Amino acid sequence: MMNKSPQFIPDCLATGIGSLPFDQPQTALNLILESFPRVPHWPQLPRRGSQEGFVFQFLNPLVQTGLLELKANQAFFTNEHPAWPERLTEFYRLYLAGESGEQEALKIFSIPPSAAAGFYAFIETIKETGTGQSLYFKGQLAGPVTLGLQVKDANGNLAYYDAQLRDILVKTLALHARWQTSQLMSLGRPAVIFIDEPAISIYGQSGYITVTKEMIKNDLTEIIQAINTAGGRTGVHSCAALDWTILFETHPDIVNLDAYNYGHSLLPYAKELKDFLARGGVIAWGITPTSEKAFTENTATLTVKLQTLWSELTAKGANQEVLKKQAMITPACGAGLLEPALAQHIYRLTRLTAGHIKG
């Protein structure tokens, strides 16, 4: 296992979540490098079409091994196919080879260039122009709960409820995360990889009573450990109110929330937040709304909103200086479905607000 640098004190460094509403990677990269020069991220570009969707970006090995097929843009496991046992054996052979560090096997868990134009443009741009002002490079991948509630088995049931299918998803994501981490780190800066998990908020809801806290924690932990193995830092992004102990107890380096809409959902977990920060954890505060509301806000209003939340957490035992030192500033969520002018405004407002909060 590679060693991460011992301390991570971002002190209000700003970055983005991932997706942007552009067709051309260079347009997205220009905005990212201008807005977040210290922690630039590679852009996911959903407007380029379905090939930039999660199946092709993160689950391509399952398509290639025949474990997964697409029907009208819906992904189904082929677990009723007569060749399923042989395909499954081949998948685990590839997984074990990749997990042991065999580079050729690990490459199978990479992103195809056709599925992530922004990723490969990011790699080429940094190689050509150098690391610049960057301190970290940020990547991201979809999380196992979010994917497991979209991918189905051969009979149309959600894959996350099937232990074997869930294990396949988690192991695929873990090796992809390891590959992505090593790719970004090869550019000369530490990597920070966020697992995007909006679906975690279903935990505790009546329609999902069979999804347990331990299931979610175990699945996230496996991916976090894979990123750590490659020397990267880890974050988990979720843009809803949820039981935050799930993420604090999973021990990522960073927990990223929509602080604009759901910041107060942290207040009942102030003690657990304090413990998370005491272990060196970082909160990435998604304080810039990813909606038309961004046009009604400015650096002053967003700073007041976040500092008010920090004051409420301080009243419950958190340390104001620690909150600030162990903070990152982000948009509330991805911007891939917004109008380009709004996305540009959100990124610039996030950059300016981070500078204002840092002081």
| pLDDT tens column, 271-330 | 999 999 999 999 999 999 999 999 999 999 999 999 999 999 999 999 999 999 999 999
Between CA 217 and CA 9, with CA 240 as vertex, the angle to 5 degrees is: 70
**Average pLDDT, stretch 111-118?**
94
Task: Give the confidence band of 54 by pLDDT, cuts at 50, 70, 90.
Answer: confident
Which domains occur in the chain, in start order? 13-48+115-358 (3.20.20.210)
Whole-number Å distance between alpha carbons of 318 and 354: 20
Cα–Cα dist 246/145, whole Å = 13
Helices 340-358 & 25-35 angle (0-180, nearest 10) = 20
Q: What is the model's pLDDT at position 4?
A: 54
Q: Which two tokens stand for residue 341?
A: 């002018």
Mention every residue, 6+ apart, whose C-beta is less than 8 A from residue 24: none
Q: How many residues would you count in the chain?
A: 359
With bands split at pLDDT 50, 70 and 90, how would you rate the model's confidence at 20?
Answer: very high
Strands 68-71 and 74-77: antiparallel
- Would the pLDDT of 1 be above 60? no
The predicted pLDDT at position 73 comes to 81
Query: Confidence class of residue 6 from pLDDT cuts 50, 70 and 90?
Result: low
Name which residue leads in pLDDT, 294 or 240: 294
The tokens for 302 are: 């967003």
- How many whole angstroms separate alpha carbon 155 and alpha carbon 22? 36
Is residue 245 packed enough to be buried (19+ CB in 10 Å), middle (13-18) or exposed (0-12)? Answer: middle
